[in-house]
Amino acid sequence: MFDKILIANRGEIACRVIRTCRRMGVRSVAVFSDADASAMHVAMADEAIHIGPAPARESYLRGDVILEAARRAGAQAVHPGYGFLSENAAFARACEAAGVVFIGPPVPAIEAMGSKVESKRLMEAAGVPLVPGYHGAEQSSEALCAAARKIGFPVLVKASAGGGGKGMRVVRAESELAEAVASARREAESSFGDGMLLIEKYVDQPRHVEIQVFADRHGNVVHLWERDCSLQRRHQKVIEEAPAPGLEDSVRARMGEAGVAAARAVGYVGAGTVEFLYSAGGFYFIEMNTRLQVEHPVTEMITGRDLVEWQLRVAAGERLPLAQADIPRRGHAFEARLYAEDPARDFMPSIGTLHHLRPPAEGPHVRVDTGVREGDAVSIHYDPMIAKLIVWDEDRPAALRRLRAALAEYEVVGVATNAAFLAALAGHPDFAKDAVDTGFIERHRAELVPANQPAPAAVLGVAALDTILRLDEQARGRAAASSDPYSPWNAADGWRMNDDNHNDLMFRDGERIATVVVHWRRDGWMLDLPDGPPVMARAVREPSGRLTVELDGMRMAATVVRQGFEITVLLDGRAWKLTLDDPAARAAEQGAGTGRLTAPMPGRVVSVLVEAGAVVTLGTPLMVLEAMKMEHTIRAPADGTVTAVHFAAGDQVSEAAELLAFEAAEA
């Protein structure tokens, strides 16, 4: 076994690998960019080495710099995690040349499976079923469009290199094809440095089922059962589970055998995942990921095995710890990916500081894999994942209840998150019944991402009670420091001459102003809430800082986080944002001009598709931005004229920067 390994990654996966190293007595070396100098993985590792500026291409994608760090640290092996250099054959070859063990498969296997074209050829020869498609070397737009017409719509345009949904487009009509090919090629070149594309028949309403395989250097190959990853958005997995529900044992066995055959066909070593589309009892090879998958924890939960430990042992030359017949499968597990993104803004990544971060308590049923702590920043430079929330129980219904409960306990303030979206998925009746396929999220999007609703009365009540308690706490502090602690000027009870004691609190909730009148009573408060009768209320702040609130006889627990006048109420698994209203500040605000098209987040301009003076129609693509490795298209908000273009391709833009000036046509 190795004495020391370097982890060529960051964030959650780096922390995950470090935990296993620590348990096995293997010293770990972290690498970090300028942006990650105080990151969690840096603090956890035994050693850490700086490798460059914040952009990944200047740090985490610099194989030469990482190998120099391994040399300096005396590391015997490099664990690439996933993403970055994990499936980079040139880096694996450089490790070999430097005498450092690459904890992954041999270079030929990476090259074979890194090319979706070559992998299809190999799988066909190995008898693994394939989806009909075009995997040719001719890559002109004309050739790709001709192939798509021959296959028949809908088709999937797909980057040959990489994964994670990048460089992938579903095309349902020929009119969409040219733009989809151009966009997919740009994203593939940006993300993987390889613009090669393939075209496949798009199978409507399939499930995405993958097989976890493992192989050693002694000819042993096994699978550790399957995972269902059908809940996807833009081809990126959102919630995964193991084992795949509703799969007949005969199909499960054949799929496992196909996964093992795929691994043998390329002389595989280490951890890998063979992905299939499953529909009506049949399954078709999609691709093989030659690395550890993001969703590997669900496999660990049902098998009780540490896959990172297996990776280290196999890379060190040991045999697989178990034969196929000895690999257990117990219970059911889910993984939900918690991201800093805003579902209400088409899942736009959210940038900011994690001012408040409270995960659910971990134990035999709940696991949290994360790479961030309270106070850390989610930046533009890297993937905006906050954590992977993994749960396990004896069967699927019990595990699903665990997932819903754990999501309700997860508290994040400082960035927008997809927590409520995940909760809506976990609570959807069709998901509970396993009526799921890869189109589930888009089909149910209106239910899963409802239009913004005003804060309910309970949320306003909690915000008002928290405000009153804070005023009371401040008043007590003033009284204790005063020469006259009993002075009425040190009270916060809303005293008024010839009137009952009350405070009028105004909260901005989106576009509306909600007023809550708080009346003092001997045994609590009476609240006048909008659109309802007065309610009796009580509130106690617990030592943990949480509030125990009773409204009209109903008791609930809530967390309130304040940043100046900004208030976030965390209640029943949702985060509600309010502002304690300052009328003077409100009067000074200026409305945003209707003719400005602004950047929804910081990023880089990939291409400008129009010139000043262009007359366009509603929905016309105007500019393409790239942020966090994803492309975002700015489209015309109406029929009209682009009167000015303020940025060119390659320019960096900040959030809310005016990109184009636009004049809508008269109705």
Do 489 and 444 lie in one domain? The reply is no
Residues 6+ apart with CB under 8 A from 99: none
Domain membership flag for residue 49: yes
Task: Pick the closest to residue 438 from 184, 162, 173, 238 (CA basis).
Answer: 238
Confidence of residue 482 (pLDDT cuts 50, 70, 90): low
Tokens of 362: 């971990």
More confident residue, 363 or 118: 363
Q: Residue 23's domain spans which residues?
A: 4-103
Based on the fold, state whether residues 280 and 425 are members of the same structural domain: yes
Do both 503 and 529 map to the same domain?
yes
Mean pLDDT, range 265-289, rounded to an integer:
93
Same domain, 404 and 353: yes
Among 398-407, 420-429, 614-623, the minimum mean pLDDT is found in 614-623
Question: What is the tens place of the pLDDT at every residue in 3-18?
Answer: 999 999 999 999 999 9
Whether residue 25 is contained in a domain is answered as: yes
In a domain, 116, yes or no: no
Residue 575 lies in a domain: yes
What is residue 205's predicted lDDT score, i.e. its pLDDT?
85
Q: Rounded to an integer, what distance in angstroms lies between the CA atom of residue 254 and that of residue 236?
A: 26
Where a domain ends, among 534, 560, 586?
Answer: 586
Domain co-membership, 444 together with 475:
no
pLDDT in tens, 321-370: 999 999 999 999 999 999 999 998 889 999 899 999 999 999 999 999 99
Q: Are 105 and 270 in contact (CB under 8 A)?
A: yes
Rounded to whole angstroms, what are the CA distances from 570 to 56, 199, 289, 552, 566?
Answer: 34, 45, 38, 20, 13
Half-sphere exposure of 340 (CA within 13 A, CB side): 26
* pLDDT tens digits for range 142-186: 999 999 999 889 999 999 886 667 889 999 999 999 999 999 999
Judge if 244 and 357 occupy the same domain. Answer: yes
- Catalytic site includes residue 291: yes
**Domain count for the chain:** 5
- Whether 195 and 302 map to the same domain: the answer is no
433 in the same domain as 419: yes
Same domain (yes/no): 235, 378? yes
Of 152, 171, 201, the last residue of a domain is: 201
Do 376 and 266 lie in a common domain? yes
What is the rounded average pLDDT of the residues 471-492? 64
Is 299 within a domain?
yes
Question: Of 10, 185, 252, 291, which one is the catalytic site residue?
Answer: 291
Cα 219 to Cα 390: distance, rounded to the nearest angstrom? 32
**Average pLDDT of every residue of the chain:** 90
According to the model, what pLDDT value does residue 592 have? 33
The answer to whether residue 518 is domain-embedded is yes
Q: What is the CATH number of the domain that holds 617?
A: 2.40.50.100
Residues 212 and 357 reside in one and the same domain: yes
Residues 554 and 605 in one domain: no
The answer to whether residue 123 is domain-embedded is: no
DSSP state of 326: G
| Residue that finishes a domain, picked among 391, 423, 448 | 448
Q: Residues 235-257: pLDDT tens digits?
A: 899 999 999 999 999 999 999 99
Determine how many CB atoms are found less than 10 A away from the CB of residue 155.
Answer: 27
Cα 566 from Cα 554, distance rounded (Å): 26
Q: Percentage of the chain with pLDDT > 70?
A: 93
